[in-house]
Amino acid sequence: MGIFDFLSGEFIDVIHWTDDTRDTMVWRFERHGHEIKYGAKLTVREGQAAVFIHEGQLADVFTPGLYMLETNNMPIMTTLQHWDHGFKSPFKSEIYFVNTTRFNDLKWGTKNPIIARDPEFGPVRLRAFGTYSIRVTDPGKFMGEIVGTDGEFTADEISFQIRNIIVQEFSRVVAGAGIPVLDMAANTGEFGKAVARAISETIAAYGLTIPELYIENISLPPEVEAALDKRTSMGLVGDLGKFTQYSAAEALSKAASNPAGGGMAAGLGAGMGMAMGAQMAQGPWGAAPAQAPAAPPPPPVEHVWHIAENGQTTGPFSRASLGRMVTDGKLTRDTHVWTAGQDGWKRAGEVAELAQLFTVMPPPPPPM
C-alpha cells in the first residue's frame, strides 16, 4: 500500500500512502528498520492526514500537501527533538496515515425492540434499522482516543460502538417524540436529523462526525402488524350493507360466467339475484325493515308405519300410503301396525292417528 524509495540504499526518501481497500481508516507507515531521513518528502493526498508519533507523543499532523521534513515545517517535532535550525540528523518516528473521507453505507439496527408509548395504541414495541456515514475530522484525537498503536485500523472496528450509540439515542428520541406510530413513516427524516444531533457531541469526542444518518424503516411486531392490517381492511369495507351487495353482485357475475357450474351455478346466481332484488327494493341503501317477521314453527314430524301380516313385516309406509291401502282394502282395522316410539304392535283401529283413516269409509253392509 506504500511506495518506498531509497536514497543510497540507506534512508527512506519518499513517504506516502495509496489505499484501495475502501474500509481502512488508519494505516501505519512501516520503516522496516530504517530511520526517516531529515529532508525526506512527505506526500499527503486529498482525503488523508499524516500523524507523527514521536516517542509515544503526538508530534505533528499534516494535512494534504507535499512537505519536506525539515525543522522549518515541523515545529512540534523540532521542540520534542530539541533540534536547532540546520540540524540534519535522521530521526525515528511512527507515521500514521488517516483516511479523512466519508465511510458510507454503514448499517445500524435495533437488536431488541424499543418500548414506546403510542397515543392511540398505548405501549408498543418498535424495531428500526438504517444506514449512516462517518468521517474523521480530528486525526490527532481519533488516534489518541480510538486507534492507539493499531497498525491498520478499519471501519468495522469502530462501527459496533457507533451502532450502540445510535440505537441508544434513537430509543430516547422516539420515546420522547410523542408521534403516533402511524405517522412515524412520514417523520423518518426528522428522526434521523434529531438522532444525528443527539450523538454529535459523543462522536466528536472520538474525533469523528456523522455527516448522514438515515432511518430506512420503523416496524411493529408481526402480530401487531397483522391486527393493524385487519383494522385497515375493516376501514376499507366501510358500509357493510354496500359491501354485501357488491360481494353478491361479484358472485352472481362469476356464477353466470362459469359454464362448468351447470344448473347449480344458475340456481345459485338466481337465488343471489332474488336476494339482491329484495334487499334493493327495501330502499336505496338496502336498509333492513325495522322489525323482522317471526319465523314459522318447525313442521311436525311425520310418522312412518310398518305392517305385520302372516308373519311378514312390510313397510315403512307413510300415513298417506296407508290411506290408499284402506281404500283398496289392503289395510283393515284389525291389521297390526307399529311405528317408532310405539309400545309393541297394535291393531290399526286402536291407534288414534290411524283410526281416522277408517271413518271416511262406510262400515261394511249389514248381513243379508
**Structural domain ending residue among the three candidates 99, 131, 149:** 99
- CATH, residue 333: 3.30.1490
Q: Three-state DSSP class for 176?
A: helix
On whether residue 81 sits in a domain, the answer given is yes
What average pLDDT does the structure give for the chain? 77
Q: Residue 98: what pLDDT? A: 95
On whether residue 240 sits in a domain, the answer given is no
On whether residue 78 sits in a domain, the answer given is yes
> Same structural domain for residues 42 and 119?
no
Q: What is the number of structural domains in the chain?
A: 3
On whether residue 238 sits in a domain, the answer given is no
The domain containing residue 184 runs over which residues? 103-224
On whether residue 257 sits in a domain, the answer given is no
On whether residue 291 sits in a domain, the answer given is no
Q: Residue 129: what pLDDT? A: 92
CA distance 103 to 155: 7
Nine-digit cell string for 293: 317477521
Q: How many CB atoms lie within 10 A of CB 312?
A: 7
> Same structural domain for residues 37 and 114?
no
On whether residue 296 sits in a domain, the answer given is no
> Same structural domain for residues 87 and 22?
yes
354 Cβ contact list (under 8 Å, min separation 6)? 305, 319, 322, 337, 348
> Same structural domain for residues 79 and 109?
no
> Same structural domain for residues 196 and 108?
yes
On whether residue 284 sits in a domain, the answer given is no
CA distance 257 to 265: 9
**Structural domain ending residue among the three candidates 53, 75, 99:** 99
> Same structural domain for residues 122 and 202?
yes
Phi, psi of 345 (to 5 degrees): -75, 140
pLDDT in tens, 218-268: 888 788 778 777 767 766 665 556 666 666 776 767 666 665 555 445 554
CA distance 152 to 173: 35
pLDDT in tens, 10-40: 445 788 999 888 889 999 888 655 467 777 8
**Structural domain ending residue among the three candidates 74, 99, 124:** 99
Going from the C-alpha of 129 to that of each of 26, 134, 135, 162, the distances in angstroms are 28, 17, 20, 14
CA distance 163 to 196: 12
